[in-house]
Amino acid sequence: MKNTVLTFRQAKEKKEKLAVLTAYDYSMAGLMDEAGINGIIVGDSVGMVCLGYKDTLSVTMEDMIHHTRAVARGASNTLVIGDMPFMSFQTSVRDALVNAGRLMKEGNAQAVKIEGGREVCPQIRAIVRSSIPVMGHVGLTPQSVRSYGGFKVQGKDEAGARKVLDAAKAVEEAGAFAVVLECIPAGLAELVTRSLSIPTIGIGAGNACDGQVLVYHDMLGMLTDFSPKFVKHYAEIGAQMRTAFTQYISEVREGVFPAAEHSFDAADDFLKKLY
């Protein structure tokens, strides 16, 4: 069944949990789509997990369009949400509108995601008015990493918790169809989830959210240098890949690969004439 923004809205009403993952390319999107994932966020985390940046600030609109378009080709039943990168929407309502339009027209996204609270509501309102669905993103918003002084859990005291709750309510009021809650205490995420009529999609926000999202490199155990506390490894693909690469290297060096079954045959009488 095709997942749309309606599926997301109805899931909250029916108390059905939404499963969302990130993806950045065609083949991975296809596997997730076949597995029945509700939504794929083509996150600006692409900068960190695919492009090797330390944070998401260097990611460009061109990067996002390129990866979103690839994911959209692989996902037939999944809602594809393209992330608006740093400075693609903060600069003005007009820039936000133009860039959201590019993610839809050039990237084939079905919705866009915007980080921030009340300060980005004029942008969310204008984009939603143009019939582009918007997913909000509050709590730890990685594009603000410089002002936090690092990737830090948000909403840990009363003032911080009020700020997160206010941000979530503001983006709902501006017209977002769902909102990501990133790295906030589980109790606060539960309160936000109960206070909103749109679904909350948690990452590091406990299990009372209406849905969950993880970066696939994290949940598949592909990044071995760091694993955040909120990540569960559903597989150790990184270790399996390393073993496969090592085996391939030694088989090539030893002349074991390719074997006869990996080679093409033809009547080779004519080859003698070439000598």
Nearer to ligand KIV, 190 or 218 (CB): 218
State the residues that interact with ligand KIV by CB under 6 A. Answer: 22, 41, 43-45, 83, 137, 180, 203, 213, 215
3-state secondary structure labels for all residues of 202-246? EECCCCCCCEEEECHHHHCCCCCCCCCCCCCCCCCHHHHHHHHHH
CB of 261 to ligand KIV, least distance (A): 41
In the complex, the smallest distance separating the C-beta of residue 11 from ligand KIV, rounded to whole angstroms, is 17
Nearer to ligand KIV, 207 or 240 (CB): 207
Q: Please, what is the minimum distance in Å from the beta carbon of residue 203 to ligand KIV?
A: 5
In the block, tokens 């993806």 appear at: 23
Smallest distance, Å, CB 196 to ligand KIV? Answer: 17
φ and ψ at residue 47, rounded to 5 degrees: -60, -35
**Of 84, 70, 62, 59, the residue nearest 33 (C-alpha):** 70
**87: number of Cβ within 10 Å:** 14
Q: At what angle do helices 158-174 and 186-195 cross, to 10 degrees?
A: 30
Beta-carbon-side half-sphere exposure of residue 221 (alpha carbons within 13 Å): 11
User: Is 182 tagged catalytic?
Assistant: yes
Which among 120, 140, 123 has a CA at the least distance from the CA of 132?
123
Q: Which residue is nearest to ligand KIV (CB)?
A: 43
Measured in residues, the chain has a length of: 275
**Identity of the residue numbered 127:** I
Q: Among the options 13, 182, 236, 261, which is catalytic?
A: 182
Q: Which is nearer to ligand KIV, 206 or 265 (CB)?
A: 206
Cβ-based neighbour number of residue 26 at 10 Å: 15
Beta carbon nearer to ligand KIV, 7 or 45: 45
Measured from the CB of residue 137, what is the shortest distance to ligand KIV in angstroms?
6
**In the chain, what are the helix, strand and coil shares in percent, each to the nearest 5?**
45, 15, 40
Q: Among residues 180 and 262, whose Cβ is nearest to ligand KIV?
A: 180
- The least CB distance from residue 81 to ligand KIV, in Å, is 9
Residues 6 and 115: their CA atoms lie apart, in Å, by 22
- For ligand KIV, the closer CB: 25 or 258: 25
Residues known to be catalytic: 182
